[in-house]
Structure 1
Amino acid sequence: MSGIERPAGRRGVGGFAEGIGFCFRGLGWVARHPGWWLFGLIPALISLAIYVAALVWLGTHATDVAAWVTPFADDWGWRDTFRALVGFMIFVVGLALSVLTFTAVTLVIGDPFYEKLSEKVEDDLGGLPGGDPPFWSSLFRSVRDSLVTLWYVVLFTVPLFVLGFVPVVGQTVVPVVGAFVSGFFLTVELTALAMERRGLRRRERFALLRANLPVTLGFGVPLFLSFMVPLVSVVAMPGAVAGAAMLVRLRLAPAPAPEDQASGGRAPGGQARDTRPA
């Protein structure tokens, strides 16, 4: 995995709480650097305008979309009620997908913005690991990886959408599972910048996040739930990017200290050196 060892860390509830802590650490960082917070708002505001227009259209045409996907219900006596329910579910799924894809689209639009913000966070923590990849190469890889991640999201979302119609289970278990799935993929998107900086490709990033699942979910699930609140995703996006950089550097794949660069960031005995503050 590009010479990076997975550091040992807390698991279970402790790891989940640790992930939540990185959310607050990222928000604290942008609170101390308001200029960078404003800088990070620019791409989020552009994405917001696009998504508001799309959701308004979906909200006003949800019933028409429901009629299009349920032609078999044309002769049902309770057709209108059924399609109103389907239309509502379509809008809910669209809203959930907008939360997930908002991050991906915003990161693509704001790649140069968030790259600089992420670099600033790591610079404050002791310096940048590795070198910077060419801009266009990084941008195309980011778009490709976001599309692959979106495909995985759809693979999970469609079955969950269908299970949402199951009585009791659809109103209890499915929303919880959906939040955890969405939180995982949200962390995938947010940590991509810092992991790419360490030479980690998509498969390696997925493996690293799965191996540290509690902290991954602890970081992503609260962000996903908060992003469901209108405008929170815009305001909190810079803090989420900052927190993701800290999560990767201090917990998932610690960067080598400046004095270790010559030896590849390896501590005696071949283990990756942990640069987390005492």
Structure 2
Amino acid sequence: MVKGNFFRGLGYLGEGFRLIRQPGLRLFVMIPLLLNILLFGALFYLLAEFFGVLIASAMGMLPDWAWLQSLDWLFWILYGVVILLMLAYGFVIIANLIGSPFYGYLSELTEKHLTGQEVSTEGGWGQIVRDIPRALGREIQKILYYLPRALGLLILGLIPVVNLVAAALWFAFNCWMMALQYVDYPADNHRVSFKSLKLNLQDTRLTALGFGLPVALGAMVPVLNLFVVPAAVCGATAYWVRETSGQPALK
């Protein structure tokens, strides 16, 4: 039986957007936000024409069946959704590689705010610098988890008819990855291993998918996705505080 509360999970991103406006958290939202704006501009420029070429190539693989060719508009939509999901999470991967030390510290400050502790940024820059190697290593772990599964789904997405199912699987997988991606920040602050985090989220999979759904949707919307990243960090920290209390923080 799948456990958790999908609708409760949906609310955490909205809470994250409220949290990023808190005075003690704004600075560590603005710096990675500026980095993401530069990154998004570069990615948009590089991928603008690649998108059209990839779609045309995928459509050229369809067999010359009359009934199948009549559904070409549907395949355009399906391939477009799959590629958009890939680009959305690709943006998240790169943005988090660049901003991971900031996001770890933002998560720590958010947790202090939520638990009623004093939010102080004294010594924050030194901690961010010290955490860079560990934060980058953690991001690489998530990328290594993501890539083989993404490759398998991409192959399925290139098979006509089968891609009808692949698009749905892609979206569900992206929702799951968004939950893993962002709840990992507070988990890492508590020295919970990535493996233990996956087990924790699997125990309440519906709640995790509920949190990941609006994050995945927001990541696909240009400009909005710039703000979704820090809001997701804060929302994921609220998720951690409320959903994993009492969970063993074991390596």
Asked if these proteins are the same fold (TM beyond 0.5), I'd say yes
Q: CA RMSD in A?
A: 3.8
Q: Structure 1 length as normaliser, TM-score?
A: 0.67
2:138 to 145, 148, 155: 145
Answer whether contact 1:55 1:95 (CA < 8 A) is retained. no
Q: What SS class does the counterpart of residue 127 from structure 1 fall into? A: coil
Letter in 2 for 1:238: P
Alpha carbons of 1:252 and 1:104: their partners in 2 closer, same or farther (altered >3 Å)? farther
Q: Pick the structure with greater CA Rg.
A: 1
* Displacement of 1:218: 0.6
Answer whether contact 1:62 1:90 (CA < 8 A) is retained. no
Q: What SS class does the counterpart of residue 111 from structure 1 fall into? A: helix
Give 1:260's aligned residue: none
Counterparts of 1:134 and 1:29, CA distance in 2:
22
Alpha carbons of 1:66 and 1:26: their partners in 2 closer, same or farther (altered >3 Å)? closer
Give 1:236's aligned residue: 228
Q: What SS class does the counterpart of residue 191 from structure 1 fall into? A: helix
Matches within 5 A, 1:105-144: 105-124=94-113, 125-127=115-117, 138-144=131-137
* Displacement of 1:115: 2.9
Give 1:47's aligned residue: 36
Q: Does 1:216 align with 2:208?
A: yes
* Displacement of 1:35: 6.6
Give 1:200's aligned residue: 192
Letter in 2 for 1:179: F
Letter in 2 for 1:162: I
Counterparts of 2:76 and 2:129, CA distance in 1:
40
Select the structure with the greater relative contact order (CA < 8 A; seq sep ≥ 6).
2
Alpha carbons of 1:115 and 1:151: their partners in 2 closer, same or farther (altered >3 Å)? closer
Q: What SS class does the counterpart of residue 224 from structure 1 fall into? A: helix
Q: What SS class does the counterpart of residue 22 from structure 1 fall into? A: helix
1:186 to 170, 174, 178: 178
Q: Mind listing any 5+ residue stretches in structure 1 that lack a counterpart? A: 1-10, 256-270, 273-278
Q: Does 1:161 align with 2:154?
A: yes
* Displacement of 1:170: 2.0
Answer whether contact 2:101 2:131 (CA < 8 A) is retained. no
* Displacement of 1:157: 2.0
Alpha carbons of 1:54 and 1:248: their partners in 2 closer, same or farther (altered >3 Å)? same
Counterparts of 1:99 and 1:121, CA distance in 2:
25
Counterparts of 2:24 and 2:129, CA distance in 1:
26
* Displacement of 1:136: 5.7
* Displacement of 1:123: 1.3
Counterparts of 2:80 and 2:37, CA distance in 1:
17
% identical aligned pairs: 24
* Displacement of 1:196: 1.5
Letter in 2 for 1:205: L
* Displacement of 1:24: 1.6
Answer whether contact 1:44 1:106 (CA < 8 A) is retained. no
Give 2:15's aligned residue: 25
Describe the superposition over 1:74-122 as per-residue Cα deviations: whole angstroms up to 9, x where unpaired.
xx9xxxx9xxxx9998876554233223333323322343233222221
Q: What SS class does the counterpart of residue 114 from structure 1 fall into? A: helix
1:98 to 81, 84, 87: 87
